[in-house]
Amino acid sequence: MLVPLLPYSTGGISVMARDVYVIGVGMAPFGQPDANAADLGFGAGVNALGDAGIGFDEVGYLYNGYIGAGLLTGVTLAKDLGLTGIPITHVENASATGSCAFHEAVQVVAGGSVDIAMALGFDDLNRATRAIGGSKPGIGQVILPAAFFAMWATRRMHEVGTTVETFAAIAAKNWNHARLNPYAQRRADHEVTVEEILASRMISYPHTSKMACAAGSGAAAAIVASREAAERVAGSRPLVKVVASQQQSEQFVDGHIFMGAVVGPGELTAATAKAAYDEAGVGPADLDLAHVHDAFPIEELMYYELLGVCAAGEGDKLVSEGATSLGGRIPFSTDGGLIGRGHPGGPTGLAQIWDVTRQLRGEAGPLQVEGARTGLAHMMGAGSVCVIHILQAGR
């Protein structure tokens, strides 16, 4: 579906009062059967603290991001990390929960309230979905995400001529990226082919089961700090600066059609991306890698265009050229994305920050994008919320 770039208010570009840097990131394995999400969160938090080289007593604010956990789970988890008296806030914004928690951590440091803040996401999307399903049905429950995204896909096939092989190639790419990620939910023991993707069970034409995001448990964390604090703990390791942190929600424009609780208007991503590029002082051509909300291949394909990486209708060409694969011009979903790495809910956006940070430090191992200096992380929350962060290496 080609989405016209309508005149769309950015709602104002936030200007950070002081520079903010990522000083620590941590993960716990995604997709462990019967894992306790809070236990995974504790592990990810400890890993992030270790990566930063600080104790929890140095963290000035904690934002917990989760969808399906219990009411006091975040506070209880914080007590396991330490009884330090800091403010603790629960953040929830559907799939964008972790990204929103990170946004809040960035803002509280940028505003000068604290020098160090942590965003911690943990969840099990399968359990969260069962809990949500018990509520009064709305359009988000009557029409499942797979059906919404199938509508996008078939519309694009009609308008642009996109083939099912293109969708399968995106999915295969992400499965194969995930093979190199030790925390990924889907780690195939062989190179996944387009034919294998197409041969898997059909769930909503043209999407097969291997094209759908992997839902399960997982946790991820990121710690941000002021420049002074970042320089104190960095040692010889490259600093990673948050040069843009933008969050927007859906708004009305002439001809606007509300697409439902799951799939919102494409203009939202385009507008949020413009605000992020303006804040960072960069453009799409400056990106070395990108993460997007790739719950199904149609999303990743559309976001190539909505983020301005290519013109409308030209995303298919990027796929055929291998431009968005590791080793290509602009790799997307370098850790496997939602399709390969997995999509637990709360930690998903923070897993993106984990990968981008490691990429910009040159610590991504077999996933490394050579010479990576600028990375973008994009997440959608139930279609009507968009969060985009841009990170850069350097002091």
Summary mean pLDDT of the chain = 91
308: nearest Cα among 350, 328, 278, 338: 278
Supply the pLDDT for residue 119. Answer: 98
Model pLDDT for residues 220-250, shown as the tens digit of each residue: 999 999 999 999 999 899 999 999 999 999 8
CA distance 54 to 62: 14
Does residue 110 carry a pLDDT above 90? yes
Chain Cα centroid distance, residue 308: 18
Find the mean pLDDT for residues 6-17. 53
For residues 297 and 154, the answer to whether their CB atoms sit within 8 Å is: no
Residue showing tokens 């055929």:
320
Does residue 134 carry a pLDDT above 70? no
Supply the pLDDT for residue 13. Answer: 54
CA distance 133 to 155: 28
32: nearest Cα among 126, 129, 132: 126
Supply the pLDDT for residue 15. Answer: 63
Supply the pLDDT for residue 383. Answer: 78
- The encoded tokens of residue 131 equal 């809990």
Name the residue with higher pLDDT: 263 or 256.
256
For residues 383 and 145, the answer to whether their CB atoms sit within 8 Å is: no
- The encoded tokens of residue 351 equal 């897993």
What one-letter code names the amino acid at 329?
A: R
Supply the pLDDT for residue 4. Answer: 42
In this structure, the chain runs to a length of 395
Start-to-end CA distance of the chain, whole Å, equals 41
- The encoded tokens of residue 122 equal 């943990």
Q: Band of the pLDDT at 145, cuts 50, 70, 90?
A: confident
Q: Are strands 116-124 and 207-208 parallel, antiparallel or unpaired?
A: unpaired
φ, ψ of residue 58 in degrees (nearest 5):
-90, -10
CA distance 292 to 332: 7
For residues 393 and 240, the answer to whether their CB atoms sit within 8 Å is: yes
CA distance 220 to 188: 22
- Domain range annotation of the chain: 18-128+214-223
Q: Does the 18-128+214-223 domain belong in CATH 3.40.47.10?
A: yes
Which segments within the chain are labelled E, that is strand? Answer: 20-28, 61-65, 88-91, 116-124, 202-204, 207-208, 217-226, 240-249, 289-291, 374-381, 385-393
- The encoded tokens of residue 211 equal 């094209």
Does residue 136 carry a pLDDT above 70? no
CA distance 342 to 212: 10
Residue showing tokens 């995001």:
213
147: nearest Cα among 261, 265, 4, 28: 261
Q: Band of the pLDDT at 266, cuts 50, 70, 90?
A: confident
Does residue 118 carry a pLDDT above 60? yes
Q: Is the pTM of this model over 0.85?
A: yes
Residue showing tokens 């909505």:
306
Determine which of 31-40, 256-265, 323-332, 354-363 has the lowest per-residue pLDDT on average: 256-265
Find the mean pLDDT for residues 71-100. 95
Count Cβ atoms within 10 A of the Cβ of residue 212 and give its class: 0-12 exposed, 13-18 middle, 19 or more buried. buried
Residue showing tokens 């208010």:
9
CA distance 17 to 118: 19
